[in-house]
Amino acid sequence: MTQQSGAAFTRRAFIGAAGGIAATTLLAACTRTGGSTGGGNASGGVLKFWNMPWGTPAFLTEDKKIIAGFKKGGFTASYQQIQWANFTTQFATGASSNTGPAVSSGGGTTSVLYAHDGKIQYMDDLINGAWTTNGLKDDFLPGMLDALKTTEGTTGVPYNLDVRPAWYNKKLFTQYGLQIPTTWDEYKTVCATLKTKGIYGFGVGSGAGNNIGFHAITGFMINNGGGWFDSNQKPAADTAANEEALDFVLELVRQGYSDPASSTYTNQNVYTQWQNHKIAYGIDTAGMAANVTGAVSSEVAVADPLTSPSGNKGFLYFPNPMMMWNNTPSKTANQDLITYYYQNMAPLWTQKTGIGLPPLKSIANDPTVSGDPNNQKIIQDWVTPGIFKTWGAPGNSGVFFNVANTVDGTQPTYTFAQQVLTPSNRQTAKQMLTAFQTTLEGLMK
Amino acid sequence: MSTETVSGALKRARNGVGVSGSGRAPGGTKKRGKAVKFTGTFLAFALPSVVLLLLLNFYPVIYAGWQSLHFGDLVNAGPFVWFQNYASVLTSAQFWTAALFTLVFTVVGVFGSWAVGLGLALLLRTRIPLNGMWKVLLLLPWVVPTVVSATSWNWLVATPQSPLPVLAHALGFGNVLFLADPTLARVTVCIFKVWISFPFMMMMMSSALASVDTNVYEASRVDGANAWQTFTRITLPMVSRTTYVSWILMTIFCVNDFPTIFLLTAGGPSNATQTLVVQAYSSVFQNNQVGPGVATAFLMTIVLVIVSVVLYRQIQKVNIE
């Protein structure tokens, strides 16, 4: 009797566990294909608006307030916050099952990714029509409207600018008599001095969830006139400009100017090292001053863009988009909602909700935004001169479908950055770029 | 009841006929009609749940199988490529590196947590002060969410200024990079796995040990068995069924353990700690390559089912013995 019940228990446990395995490991399969049509012009209804937490909890409050105020042509909008932790799956599920939003924000490549699948309502009519008349088109910072344009049309418009400027610690620089570097050579000299004080001059990380390491490496390539794609949107990793830039980064690592443990640093680990005064110069987001806590928050400042040996300036940025989806009760209402949103979204910046830099001149020039010295420095010295480039550089001004499959947060990019940031790695820049070129080609669709 | 009557009743019982008669008692047809009606009602009530269960379990599996034969993304399945995804996965060096580490991670996770759990279960059987409190405290690694544990371990080991590297440096081991050095990162995630899993094993083994008759130990002592003989000849065989069950469960937990690796190292540095489940996730959700990712998950599941069946047969053997 005991044996029987024991066997029954284990069999049940086994079957249950096997079901669990299937459910867990094959969760990825729980989406379905299906064409997205929609897009009629109903006389009224509710438009789904999805947005991610781009800032502090105050962001959600302000954002909800903006959406609650929309009412036009019998349409209102509902608000749904999508967490970053699962935003990829949420959008994939929503798009494939036609339960997604009518209007939403997205990651740097979300709009081009779903435009490729026929899910996105192109914005050219709106930009060249109503937005030209009401002045919104001219209000965008230079080059912004081209960032999300594909050969088929404009997939979205920049909503906030996620930039990667250089930061330094003013207090430590003053203490050790250092000048803010403006060239690669000056930067190396600064790093060498900092090393003698036990401080790292190349502060980045590439651990769990932290892709700043790869962004920084890409940034130095763009800085040197390079990047990952040619004008045919094909991978072009193995170029002279990239090799020179990677040689420079490898030198920074191998000379001991970066933390030897940084290859597995999370964002928080990097901020902790800034707080510990172990990092005095590095690459990060526009919001770094808010992310490092304590006294260091007021010690850090945005540095000058570096000039590479090729005479170029430049770094990487992500034009995070706002986009319209085909799965909507009314495409006209979509246009009304996104227009309303752009005309009323200023409080997200003026109320200091922590969102990235604004894409509109009118908001960027608002004293509450430009009054922040770091924001002002980024807008004046990094954004306005147009030195920031997208993943598509050097051959493209914007992003496109294969960027999402190859370099935007893919696993090989983490691996590449971790190899670069490992001091004991003895591969040459040429070897690494040749191998990465093959990897990128394998990821292309 | 006469002997003849009893044997006849037993015969009827073996033939599935009630001892009270031949089954043709007055009103039998009516009763059977009621039984059929009851069965029908029962099935009608059970059917929605059964259909739902079938849909929940089989639909994703079948759909995943279909996806693994295509080369597309999360929205569009893409072209049908037969078994090309399986071939590309099986011929990829990265897959075999991940498979090897999954094996190491699982073996260390299962036997490491079992050894620690059994040891502690044996210790907690003895009369130690505050026994109940220790049991509760020792359960904490299992009870605390993995995300919290992983964050705590990251704080403990990630930077050269973290407590464990500082301790290692003070002990003369130099600058120890627990997560940045590929070999040490493998060791660290395996130890972390043992740490978060041993309470489960401790619970399983404690319950198994509690069911062992203490008279057996007394008899062995009388027969002159030493501690090692008692442990290997009595304790281990007596808890073997529970041991096999816990090994099956822990094997499944380890192979499918996504958060431990993803939160601590995300598979790095340079793929050193990448397991198959992390690789499947990366392929689907980071590289946007659903077919190869699902193929990896399928291959993983097949191996897991084989391992589970082998261990399950061990349990049956133990039952027979």
The string of pLDDT tens digits covering residues A22-31 is: 444 444 444 3
pLDDT above 50 (res A188)? yes
Residue A143 pLDDT: 83
pLDDT above 50 (res A144)? yes
Own/partner pairs, A398-401, CB within 8 angstroms, 24+ separation:
A398/A146, A398/A147, A398/A148, A398/A149, A398/A150, A398/A319, A399/A108, A399/A109, A399/A112, A399/A147, A399/A148, A399/A319, A400/A112, A400/A150, A400/A233, A401/A112, A401/A113, A401/A115, A401/A116, A401/A150, A401/A445
Residue A291 pLDDT: 84
* Chain B nearest CA to A321, separation (Å): 19
Sheet holding A166-169, edge to edge: A281-283, A166-169, A300-302
- How wide is the angle at C-alpha B117 spanned by C-alphas B111 and B122, nearest 5°? 125
Mean pLDDT: which of A30-39, A334-343, B248-257, B301-310 is highest?
A334-343
d(CA A359, CA A321): 10
The share of chain A scoring above pLDDT 70, in percent, equals: 91
Out of A218-232, B25-39, B128-142, B191-205, least confident range: B25-39
pLDDT above 50 (res B22)? no
d(CA B199, CA A339): 56
Residue A89 pLDDT level (bands cut at 50, 70, 90): confident
Averaged pLDDT, A147-154: 91
| Residues of B in Cβ contact (< 8 Å) with A412 | 287
| Residues of A in Cβ contact (< 8 Å) with B247 | none
Kindly report, residue by residue over A363-392, the tens digit of the pLDDT: 999 999 888 899 899 989 998 888 999 999
Residue-range domains of chain B with CATH:
84-320 (1.10.3720.10)
| Residues of B in Cβ contact (< 8 Å) with A89 | 74, 285
What ipTM does this complex have?
0.80
Please enumerate in sequence order all residues whose Cβ is within 8 A of that of B35, keeping only pairs 6 or more positions apart, or say none: none
Does A119 sit within 8 Å of B180, measured CB to CB?
no
Q: How far is CA A319 from the centre of its chain?
A: 7
Amino acid at B87: A
pLDDT above 80 (res A32)? no
Mean residue pLDDT across chain A: 89
Out of A154-163, A400-409, A416-425, least confident range: A400-409
Mean residue pLDDT across chain B: 87
Residue B26 pLDDT: 53
Give the predicted TM-score (pTM) of the model: 0.83
Residue B319 pLDDT: 62
* Chain B nearest CA to A165, separation (Å): 24
Q: Which residue among B67, B249, B256 places its CB closest to the CB of A25?
A: B256
pLDDT above 50 (res A216)? yes
Mutate to test the interface with A, among B50, B59, B73 (most CBs of A within 10 A): B73
Residue B128 pLDDT: 82
Tokens 């029954």, located at residue: A8
Residue A153 pLDDT: 94
Residue A35 pLDDT: 36
Assess A317–B contact: CB distance below 8 Å, yes or no.
no
Averaged pLDDT, B278-300: 93
d(CA A329, CA A318): 30
Residues 69 through 128 of chain A touching chain B, CB cutoff 8 Å: 88-89, 92, 95-96, 113-114, 117, 119
Using left for φ > 0, alpha for ψ between -120 and 50, and beta otherwise, residue A45 falls in left
Out of A33-37, B10-14, B298-302, least confident range: A33-37
Q: Which residue among B73, B245, B281 places its CB closest to the CB of A10?
A: B245
pLDDT above 70 (res A405)? yes
| Residues of A in Cβ contact (< 8 Å) with B279 | 411
Tokens of residue B271, six digits: 């793929």
Residue A21 pLDDT: 41
Cross-strand pairs, A307: A183
Report the 10 Å Cβ neighbour count for B45: 9
Averaged pLDDT, B245-265: 93
Residue A41 pLDDT: 55
Mean pLDDT: which of B24-33, B69-78, B104-113, B218-227 is highest?
B104-113
Report whether A398 contacts A144 (CB < 8 A): no
Does A206 sit within 8 Å of B265, measured CB to CB?
no
d(CA A388, CA A357): 13
Residue B205's alpha-carbon distances to A83, B193, B201, B202, in angstroms, are: 40, 18, 6, 5
Tokens of residue A47, six digits: 């438009």
pLDDT above 90 (res A165)? yes
Tokens of residue A334, six digits: 């979509």
Mean pLDDT: which of A335-349, A387-401, B276-290 is highest?
A335-349
* Three-state SS sequence of chain B: CCHHHHHHHHHHHHCCCCCCCCCCCCCHHHHHHHHHHHHHHHHHHHHHHHHHHHHHHHHHHHHHHHHCCECCCCCCCCCECCCHHHHHHHCCHHHHHHHHHHHHHHHHHHHHHHHHHHHHHHHHHCCCCCHHHHHHHHHHHHHCCHHHHHHHHHHHHCCCCCHHHHHHHHCCCCCCCCCCCHHHHHHHHHHHHHHHHHHHHHHHHHHHHHCCCHHHHHHHHHCCCCHHHHHHHHHHHHCHHHHHHHHHHHHHHHHCCCHHHHHHCCCCCCCCCCCHHHHHHHHHHHCCCHHHHHHHHHHHHHHHHHHHHHHHHHHHHHHHC
* Chain A nearest CA to B76, separation (Å): 5
Q: Which of A424, A138, A117, A16 is nearest to B57 (CA)?
A: A16
Residue B4 pLDDT: 46
Does B266 sit within 8 Å of A414, measured CB to CB?
yes
Own/partner pairs, B234-243, CB within 8 angstroms, 24+ separation:
B235/B122, B235/B209, B238/B208, B238/B212, B239/B118, B239/B205, B239/B208, B239/B209, B239/B212, B240/B318, B241/A6, B241/B208, B241/B315, B241/B318, B241/B319, B242/B204, B242/B205, B242/B207, B242/B208, B243/B114, B243/B205, B243/B208
Assess A442–B contact: CB distance below 8 Å, yes or no.
no
Mean pLDDT: which of A34-43, A55-64, A428-437 is highest?
A428-437
Residue A172 pLDDT level (bands cut at 50, 70, 90): very high
| Residues of A in Cβ contact (< 8 Å) with B179 | 207, 261, 264
Kindly report, residue by residue over B50-90, the tens digit of the pLDDT: 899 888 888 888 989 999 999 988 888 889 999 999 999 99
| Residues of A in Cβ contact (< 8 Å) with B264 | 208
Report whether B269 contacts B188 (CB < 8 A): no
Residue B13 pLDDT: 43
* Chain A nearest CA to B239, separation (Å): 13
Residues 274 through 313 of chain A touching chain B, CB cutoff 8 Å: 276, 278
| Residues of A in Cβ contact (< 8 Å) with B293 | 28
Report whether A282 contacts A217 (CB < 8 A): no
| Residues of B in Cβ contact (< 8 Å) with A443 | 287, 289
Residue-range domains of chain A with CATH:
7-161+320-375 (3.40.190.10), 166-316+392-443 (3.40.190.10)
Does A6 sit within 8 Å of B288, measured CB to CB?
no
pLDDT above 50 (res A19)? no
